Amino acid sequence: MNYRQRLLFHGMALFLIGLLTGLAEQHFTNVRMGLAAHLEGIMNGTFLLAVGAIWNEVKLPTRANVIAYWTLLGGTYGNWAVTTVAAILGTAALSPVSAAGHTAVQWQEALVTLGFVLIGLTIISASVLLLWGLRRSTAHGGMA
C-alpha cells in the first residue's frame, strides 16, 4: 500500500471537507463550534499533507507503520467529526470557549467528551509513532 499517496489524498479530502464545513457553519446550533469544525478540517487536512510529504522518512516496523497510518486517519477525520457533532448538538464538552453559552443534554455532552478524549489519545499515539519513526531514520545515517 502506498501510504504516502493515500495520506496526501486524505489530506486534500479533509482540507476540502473543512472548507465545505465553513460554508455551512452558520447553520449549526453553535456557530462558534461550527467555526472550530471548519478550522479542524483545514488544520487536520494540512497536517495529513505534511505527514504525507515526510512519510518516506518515517522508518517504522510494518505493524507500527500500519498503526501510525490508521491512527492518523482516525484521529484527523475523527477530530473534524467530533467537533462537527459538537457544533450540531450545541455541546460545551471540553471546549468552554467555543461553547459560547451553549449546553446540550447530558448524554450528548458525555458522547462528545468521550469523542474528544479518544481523538486526543489517538492523535497523541500517532504523533509518538511518527516521532519514533523519524528518530530511527535520523539515527541510521542522518543528523539527529
Per-residue model confidence as pLDDT tens for the chain (144 residues): 699 999 999 999 999 999 999 999 999 999 999 999 999 999 999 999 999 999 999 999 999 999 999 999 999 999 999 999 999 998 987 777 667 677 778 999 899 999 999 999 999 999 999 999 999 555 555 544
Residue 10, CB-side half-sphere exposure with 13 Å CA sphere: 23
Q: Per residue, what are the HEC states of the chain?
A: CCHHHHHHHHHHHHHHHHHHHHHHHHHCCCHHHHHHHHHHHHHHHHHHHHHHHHHHHCCCCHHHHHHHHHHHHHHHHHHHHHHHHHHHHCCCCCCHHHHCCCCCCHHHHHHHHHHHHHHHHHHHHHHHHHHHHHHHHHHCCCCC
